Amino acid sequence: MSDLRDLYQQVIMDHNKNPRNFREIEDANHFAHGNNPLCGDKLVVYVKLDGNVITDVSFKGSGCAISMASASLMTESLKGKTLEEADAIYEQVHKTMTGETADRHLLGKLEVLSGVKEFPARVKCATLSWHTVHAAVDSDHDISVSTE
Amino acid sequence: MRAFDIEQIRADFPILHQQINGQPLVYLDNAASSQKPLQVIEAVDHYYRTDNANVHRGVHRLSQRATDAFEASRSTVRDYLNASSDREIVFVRGATEAINLVAQSFVRPMIVEGDEILISHLEHHANIVPWQMLCEQTGAQLKVIPMTDTGELDLTQIDELLNSRTKILSIGHVSNALGTVNPVKMLTEKARAKGIPVLIDGAQAVPHLQVDVQALDCDFYVFSGHKLFAPTGIGVLYGRQQLLEAMPPYQGGGDMILSVSFSGTIYNELPYKFEAGTPHIAGAIGLAAAIDYIQQFGMEVLAAHEHHLLDLATAKLQAMDGVRIIGTAKEKASVLSFMIDGVHPHDVGTIFDQQGVAIRTGHHCAQPVMEYFDIPATARASFAFYNSEQEVDALVAAIKKTQELFG
Ligand SMILES: Cc1ncc(COP(=O)(O)O)c(C=O)c1O
């Protein structure tokens, strides 16, 4: 059961129960829909971009604990970051989820997402919000991404 | 007749005896695909070791043996379904292919814009999408028998839904998402009284009930071997002989012709007209071995044990706080779909797997059913006759573990 505790760490459970930035941003200038049809995870990510600074980011939707917590943690970590910084963070998140060594300093709290590396079937859940935020800032209209 | 002894039966299924994550495997995903007894594995093995050749072509000994075994398998299926002739048993890849075949070869030539195809809200995507495609091709309309909160068909409007525009009723015998056993005999009677042909999707019924196509009086009955303890890639279309005879072939190729010339081709007789190309010979042989296996005990005996497990599990889950059963029809087979409060089914699946308990989580290829209950997915345990009471306890323990973790 130790692996399960690695996956479902306290931080994950907390963010799943009380997701941060779980709201719509009325004046968002970027947003995208994310969808994982296999398990039915569905979310919308809203971004307010000022130049290349993410001044606000939020999400709404429903899904498994991993996708909800990952989205919540993502919004916390990306707020106030530049797009370049956001890319650098995602690169580390991806590394830690696929079992590569990642920069712990850049990851910070996001390190809890490393638990998915033992659960390949769940990596998609954890990456959904990240793919979605990527699609949102890359496009100036609503766009849909799917991890299937 | 072999007496029912669960330990001996489990000994026949080699795959069941393994550990997953350090726990004994508890296989409760039978509705997705079933496990195979040694008797099936050995029949396939024997075929490849001693009889393998192409069918219906060679005069040499192996080809004759392969042909004999393939055709004997057809007779076994015919006998099992109580069809009146081997000509009515068409080997296909599975339920999906059989439904597509009927949609394209039987319904398409006789349907026009404004006509209707009737299915139900409980169907598997395999019994929805082929009809939607046909509707797109022809301008026909898809009509849907609604469902109720218990997961049963809502038949209040059935007399209007079955009308002069209806060109086929295509209905599942047992729902894969909820386990509901539909009143297919009554529906077939109603439809046929109005001259409407009926297809029954038996993919989830054949592993759990004795099916008699003549008693049902349906026009088509389809199922997949892999859910009936046989290999993947083999399935059966039963069709009433007169209808099959009048239908054009579904695919062209070898084996489905009597003679070919560039000025024209004469199609083969039934059932070969619908079996273009080299068939899944080993699969058919495996399917017959699976039927023989079941018949050692009799389906009623196996079904009684399995039904006992479903009742036991249902009662135990009902008694648990924070567990909601989805699909509470009066008549059910094998399937127990449920939700654990506050836990997404996908998390349930992962936590169960860590305890060696294999269940399905997701929409079960029945998204309209999920939409009806306004849920993205369910966790689904589905039983087969080789499951045991201890495995029901393992299911309950896995739910408790999940609740603890998320508590
Ligand atoms: C009710 C029902 N119909 C059809 C199918 C399709 O079967 P196959 O994928 O073997 O063709 C399934 C399989 O899950 C099913 O449960």
**Domain identity same for B135 and B211:** yes
> CB of B204 within 8 A of CB of B382?
no
User: Among B242, B277, B295, which residue terminates a domain?
Assistant: B295
Residue B85 neighbours by CB distance under 10 Å: 12
Q: Which domain holds residue B157?
A: 41-295
Nearest to A56 by CA among A28, A82, A34: A28
The structure's pTM equals: 0.94
Give the β-pairing of B23-24 and B19-20: antiparallel
- For residues B73 and B284, is the Cβ–Cβ distance under 8 A? yes
In a domain, B407, yes or no: no
Q: Is residue B1 a part of any domain in this protein? A: no
Read off the pLDDT of each residue in B155-168 and give the average, rounded to a whole number: 98
Pairwise CB contact (< 8 Å): B347 & A62: no
Candidates B355, B371, B353, B354; CA nearest to B363 is B371
With a CB cutoff of 8 Å and minimum separation 6, the contacts of B96 are B126, B130, B224, B235
- Residue B319 and residue B226 share a domain: no
- Could you tell me if residue B35 is inside a domain? no
Is B36 within the bounds of a domain? Answer: no
What is the secondary structure of B295-346 as a DSSP string? HHH-HHHHHHHHHHHHHHHHHHHHTSTTEEEE---SSB-SEEEEEETTB-HH
Give the mean pLDDT of B154-183.
Answer: 98
* Cα A33 → chain centroid: 13
Domain A2-146: state its class: alpha beta
Give the residue, out of B34, B96, B332, B364, with the most ligand 1 atoms within 8 A of its beta carbon, to mutate for a pocket test.
Answer: B96
Mark whether B87 and B202 lie in a shared domain: yes
Total count of domains within chain B: 2
For residues B227 and B304, state if they share a domain: no
Counting one residue from chain A and one from chain B, the pairs whose CB atoms sit within 8 A come to: 50
| Among B260, B295, B330, residue at a domain's last position | B295
Whether residues B243 and B113 share a domain: the answer is yes
**Do B250 and B142 lie in a common domain?**
yes
CB contact under 8 A, A64 and B351: no
Which residues fall within 8 angstroms of residue A115, CB to CB, at 6 or more apart?
Answer: A3, A6, A7, A8, A9, A12
pLDDT in tens, A92-109: 999 999 889 999 999 999
Please check the confidence at residue A141 and state whether its pLDDT lies above 80: no
**Residue B135 annotated to the active site:** no
Rounded CA separation B186/B172 (Å): 13
Based on the number of CB atoms within 10 Å of its own CB, is A98 exposed (0-12), middle (13-18) or buried (19 or more)? middle
Structure confidence at residue A148 (pLDDT):
55
Summarised one tens digit per residue, pLDDT across range B98-115 is 999 999 999 999 999 999
- Backbone angles phi and psi of B349, in degrees to 5: -60, -45
Of A126, A133, A129, A122, the closest CA to residue A3 belongs to A122
- Shared domain for B347 and B282, answered yes or no, is no
Q: What's the ipTM?
A: 0.88
What gap in Å lies between CA B108 and CA B163, rounded to an integer?
A: 18
- How many CB atoms are closer than 10 A to CB B371? 12
Which one of the listed residues B107, B365, B377, B398 is annotated catalytic?
Answer: B365
Contact check, Cβ <8 Å, B354/A4:
yes
Q: What is the nearest CA distance from B232 to chain A, expressed in angstroms?
A: 22
Boundary-marking domain end, from B295, B312, B336: B295
Q: What is the pLDDT of residues B219-258, one digit of tens each?
A: 999 999 999 999 999 999 999 999 999 999 999 988 888 8
What is the domain-level CATH number for residue B154?
A: 3.40.640.10
